[in-house]
Amino acid sequence: MTDATPAIDPQHSALLVMDYQPAVLGYLTEVEPLLTRMADAIAITREAGASVAYVRVAFDDDDYAAIPTANKAFAPLASGGVLHHEDPSSAVHHHVAPEQGDIIVRKTRVGAFSTTDLDEQLRDRDITTLILAGIATSGVVLSTVRDAADRDYQVYVLADGSADPDADVHDVLTQKVFPRQAHVINVGDLSGLLVAR
């Protein structure tokens, strides 16, 4: 965060908790500190009166069938039946679980928007600012930063609420790439930024 980082109006903002699923968390080495920080971020967001939205990647049988063999990332998931929507490993981790009234979407590609009605649900709530946190930084976070910026949301990225199996890639994205389209902050910055207007 810099001194120029603008305040976040809770009434028009949502924290997006993306791909916080046991199957995805399994690619990381230090999971507990990340889950603790994310639970703190969710609590701060709720206390401020902002919305919380959950995005998870999971498939039903029709979704698997619709994935072409040319899709390098998703064809292996389809052929192996990985991340089936009824598999407990594809659910949101219980440590950061949704509550009644939260937005919850299930996606079948990398970004949070392309295969969901997330944009419509956010617009229905008059949300114009997104705070992104997810796994992996080089996957859902990168794709969603770009898409959200193209959709004219004001975008923040929780650097320490996101993680990548490759720490160097995480650092390059959060320090050099994301600042071109988003404000990069940490969970500790949230309380001071979420200020009602």
Residue 96 has pLDDT above 70, yes or no: yes
Q: Give a yes or no: residue 3 inside a domain.
A: no
Q: What is the pLDDT of residue 151?
A: 98
Is there a domain that residue 42 lies in?
A: yes
Size of the chain in residues: 197
Residue 4 covered by a domain: no
- Return the structure tokens found at 90: 């594809």
Count CB atoms within 10 A of the CB of residue 123. 12
Number of domains, the chain: 1
Please check whether residue 182 lies inside any domain of the structure: yes
Share of the chain above pLDDT 70, in %: 98
- The pTM assigned to this predicted structure is 0.96
Q: Determine the structural domain holding residue 24 and report its residue range.
A: 10-193
CATH number of the domain encompassing residue 65: 3.40.50.850
Using one digit for the tens of pLDDT, what is the confidence trace for 126-138? 999 999 999 999 9
Q: Does residue 103 have a pLDDT over 90?
A: yes
List pLDDT tens digits, range 36-74.
999 999 999 999 999 999 999 999 999 999 999 999 999
Report, as an integer, the average pLDDT of 79-83: 92
Mean pLDDT across the chain: 96
